[in-house]
Amino acid sequence: MTSIVILISGRGSNMQAIVRAAAAEQWPAHIAAVISNRHDAQGLEFAREHGIPVAVVSNKDYSTRDAFDAALQEEIERFSPDLVVLAGFLRILTGAFVAHYAGRMLNIHPSLLPAFPGLATHRQALVAGVKNHGATVHFVTADLDHGPIVAQAVVPVLSGDTEETLALRVLEQEHVIYPAAVRSFVEGKLALHNNKVWFGA
Ligand code: NHR
Ligand code: GAR
């Protein structure tokens, strides 16, 4: 059984998609905890309702990123996870934290990386005038939004799109590719070898 800890900051719809897929498809996995850096994250409610242990480590309680990441790591380690899943988690993580979870931490980013790293990706896409946009699942490395790419989904940018309509089209695809990637990891079909993505049979 692969033990998974999911980190969120808000709505948690990707977390929900993963929790639902794990149950519906009977993955050999256990969602050990959902941890948020914000007390008011909506996703915490869903986790509680589903009997998943929740915890909050508020970045506001720590004066440095190192102190916050140390506290976050301590909380995560209570659940001894094999995999840490960032699902709309909004704090940049320090090199020491990322190194501890090397090869066992995934993120979904709402753009076709390496285009539009950082925040406000849908606005960035509309400003750039790209015809296609999407989402990327990647292993997390110290280099923000530049870790080895696991999966991508492409959606068209349509005339009349706003950040909201575009975000929704991308989010629907996130809910497809993120659970699929996590499933591959728990089935031992996805790993990071020498900083390259390995897919097994
Ligand atoms: N940490 C590392 N080291 N590497 C990555 O690839 C990471 C990461 C932490 C989070 C998610 C990422 C995204 O998918 C992610 C990838 C937050 C910010 C950010 O600027 C940027 C990228 C991502 C997440 N955060 C601000 C900060 O100062 C705070 C913003 C806020 O609190 O609202 O940490 O987009
Ligand atoms: C998702 O679109 C995710 O890709 C994005 O935020 C949304 C979270 O939604 N992540 C980031 O922008 C990370 N910086 P959710 O909380 O409903 O999963």
Q: Is 107 in the pocket of ligand 2 (CB under 6 A)?
A: no
Per-residue pLDDT tens over the stretch 129-176: 999 999 999 999 999 999 999 999 999 999 999 999 999 999 999 999
Q: Is 100 in the pocket of ligand 2 (CB under 6 A)?
A: no
Helices (H) and strands (E) counted in the chain, each on its own, are 6, 9
Ligand nearest the Cα atom of residue 135:
2
Closest residue by Cα to atom 6, ligand 2, is: 88
Q: Is 174 in the pocket of ligand 2 (CB under 6 A)?
A: yes
Rounded to 5°, angle at Cα 118 from 176 and 19: 30
Tokens representing 83?
A: 């995999």
Nearest ligand 2 atom, CA 170: 2
Nearest ligand 1 atom, CA 147: 6
Q: Is 89 in the pocket of ligand 1 (CB under 6 A)?
A: yes
CATH class of 2-190: alpha beta
Per-residue pLDDT tens over the stretch 68-121: 999 999 999 999 999 999 999 999 999 999 999 999 999 999 999 999 999 999
> How many other C-beta atoms can be found within 10 angstroms of the C-beta atom of residue 149?
15
Q: Is 144 in the pocket of ligand 2 (CB under 6 A)?
A: no
Cα dist from 13 to 28, 172, 185, whole Å: 21, 10, 20
Cα dist from 41 to 6, 88, 94, 103, 163, whole Å: 13, 10, 22, 27, 21
Sheet containing strand 105-109, strands side by side? 54-56, 29-36, 2-8, 83-86, 105-109, 132-139, 149-156
Residue of 197, 193, 184 lying closest to 148 (CA atoms): 197
Contact 37, 9 (CB under 8 A): yes
Cα separation, 198 vs 82, whole angstroms: 17
* CA atoms lying within 13 Å on the CB side of residue 118: 5
Nearest ligand 1 atom, CA 146: 6
CA of 44 to the centre of ligand 1 (A): 19
CA of 88 to the centre of ligand 2 (A): 3
Can you give the residue ranges of every domain in the chain?
2-190
Whole-number pLDDT of residue 113 = 98
Ligand nearest the Cα atom of residue 113:
1
Cα separation, 87 vs 178, whole angstroms: 9
Residue of 186, 101, 111, 120 lying closest to 149 (CA atoms): 111
Mean pLDDT of the chain: 98
Structure confidence at residue 201 as a pLDDT band (50, 70, 90):
confident
